[in-house]
Amino acid sequence: MFVKTKEDNCRLIPMLNKRIIPHSPALTKEASLKTLIENRSIYNLNNCELNLFETYQKSELVSLKFNDLVVTSMLRGKKVMHLFENPGFDYLPGESVIVPANVEMKIDFPEAEMNNPTHCLALAIDNQKIIDTIDFLNERYPKEGNNNYWQLDERNFFFYNNPELAQTINKLMNICQSTSITKDALADLTLQELLVRITQSQTIRSVQEDQFHTLNPYLSNIIGIIRNNLGEKINIKHLANSVGLSTPSLYRMFKREMNISPIEFIIIERIKYAKRLLKDQRLYIKNVSYESGFDDCNYFIRVFKHHEGITPKQYQLLNSN
């Protein structure tokens, strides 16, 4: 039996899958456009190159390739992205995709028009900078467990921007477009932060999609225990001990790998479970609250509304399943 700590009832936290859109720089004036399809602005620094693309005309299968790994993020409009011979997928503001070096992207612009352009950034990062950053993280901030290292998973290429990732992208755009004589040094520091944020976002996506084979075994086991005990009281110390970790190590692992605490993750999982229960319109909200592991129904309602923007009852009534 796991016992919930008091901290579980004293804070609200953001959802993991909300899309945060980076600030979109000003569009190119119409008279200055060189092309209506992927009009490109380039800002070149020592270890990265920022590319801003604008498209004002519907088109299909536009080819794009970079010599370095590239982090792309949608700022405005809609694309359909074709990668790795997979079916095309919608690419929308608040979403990011990493593409390995020398991999061809094929892009459709189904809605692009002069009054509705797409706007996307592509940040190409020097490979040696990536290697140096990963080596630095593994040396200075090693992860718990044997054979568990910081790495960029090129197979886990799609993710939603959380507030920290969007903020870092904004910072890099501002640095790259600045005229500061120190911008290369500032960009190098921010690139390190960006790579950390991306690895955390990749871990979150692996958890959401139950791809446990890609996770740290400690993290995988902890998540399994949490999900199997959502309706029970969960004590963080007991949770840590169950997999052979100290409580500080457990907190450190969650913050490093997903940028949230284990308590925050538990609340997120309970809200997800509550949403499944709310598909049954016969259930009382109080019962859903208790079955999801919330002792206080008022707190459950408040947290649910913070996450979903509506109350549990409104969610239940809107759910047609």
Please check whether residue 102 lies inside any domain of the structure: yes
DSSP 108: E
Mean pLDDT of the region 195-202: 85
Do 121 and 263 share a domain, yes or no? no
Do 256 and 313 share a domain, yes or no? yes
Please check whether residue 125 lies inside any domain of the structure: yes
Do 227 and 199 share a domain, yes or no? no
Please check whether residue 76 lies inside any domain of the structure: yes
Q: What is the dihedral of CA 10, 16, 18, 20, to 10 degrees?
A: 100
Question: How far is CA 48 from each of CA 51, 52, 127, 133, 227, rounded to the nearest angstrom?
Answer: 10, 13, 9, 13, 40
The model's pLDDT over 96-153, given as tens digits with 9 standing for 90+, comes to 999 998 899 999 999 999 999 999 999 999 999 999 988 888 888 877 766 677 888 7
Do 154 and 228 share a domain, yes or no? no
Q: Which residues contact 245 (CB under 8 A, 6 or more apart)?
A: 144, 218, 253
- With 50 as the cut, is the pLDDT of residue 8 above it? no
Choosing from 186, 212, 238, the residue where a domain stops is 212
Do 262 and 280 share a domain, yes or no? yes
pLDDT score recorded for residue 270: 92
Please check whether residue 24 lies inside any domain of the structure: no
Please check whether residue 308 lies inside any domain of the structure: yes
Do 116 and 61 share a domain, yes or no? yes
pLDDT score recorded for residue 86: 82
Please check whether residue 22 lies inside any domain of the structure: no
Q: How many CB atoms lie within 10 A of CB 174?
A: 15
- Exposed (0-12), middle (13-18) or buried (19+): which is 189, by Cβ within 10 Å? exposed
**In which order are the strands placed within the sheet that holds 158-160?**
39-44, 48-55, 118-125, 69-76, 95-99, 158-160
The model's pLDDT over 25-67, given as tens digits with 9 standing for 90+, comes to 889 998 898 999 999 999 999 999 999 999 999 999 999 999 9
Q: Which residues contact 300 (CB under 8 A, 6 or more apart)?
A: 274, 285, 288, 289, 292, 294, 312
Do 182 and 233 share a domain, yes or no? no
Choosing from 182, 197, 212, the residue where a domain stops is 212
The model's pLDDT over 281-312, given as tens digits with 9 standing for 90+, comes to 889 999 999 999 998 999 999 989 888 888 99
pLDDT score recorded for residue 201: 81
Please check whether residue 23 lies inside any domain of the structure: no
The model's pLDDT over 234-277, given as tens digits with 9 standing for 90+, comes to 899 999 999 888 999 899 888 888 888 899 899 989 998 999 89
pLDDT score recorded for residue 66: 92
Please check whether residue 72 lies inside any domain of the structure: yes
Do 240 and 253 share a domain, yes or no? yes
pLDDT score recorded for residue 169: 93
Going through the chain in order, the beta strands assigned E by DSSP cover: 39-44, 48-55, 59-64, 69-76, 79-82, 89-91, 95-99, 105-109, 118-125, 158-160
Choosing from 212, 227, 251, the residue where a domain stops is 212
The model's pLDDT over 199-235, given as tens digits with 9 standing for 90+, comes to 888 888 778 777 766 677 888 889 999 999 988 888 9
Do 228 and 200 share a domain, yes or no? no
CA 241 to chain centre: 29
- Measured CA to CA, the distance from residue 211 to residue 205 in angstroms comes to 8
Mean pLDDT of the region 74-101: 91
Do 105 and 61 share a domain, yes or no? yes
Do 176 and 260 share a domain, yes or no? no
- Measured CA to CA, the distance from residue 36 to residue 53 in angstroms comes to 10
Do 162 and 47 share a domain, yes or no? yes
Cα-Cα end-to-end distance for the chain: 33
CATH number, residue 64: 2.60.120.10
pLDDT score recorded for residue 274: 92
Overall domain count for the chain: 2
CATH number, residue 227: 1.10.10.60
The model's pLDDT over 106-116, given as tens digits with 9 standing for 90+, comes to 999 999 999 99
Range of the domain at 297: 6-16+216-318
- Measured CA to CA, the distance from residue 63 to residue 86 in angstroms comes to 15
- Measured CA to CA, the distance from residue 132 to residue 299 in angstroms comes to 45
Higher pLDDT, 172 or 149: 172
pLDDT score recorded for residue 115: 93
Mean pLDDT of the region 156-181: 90
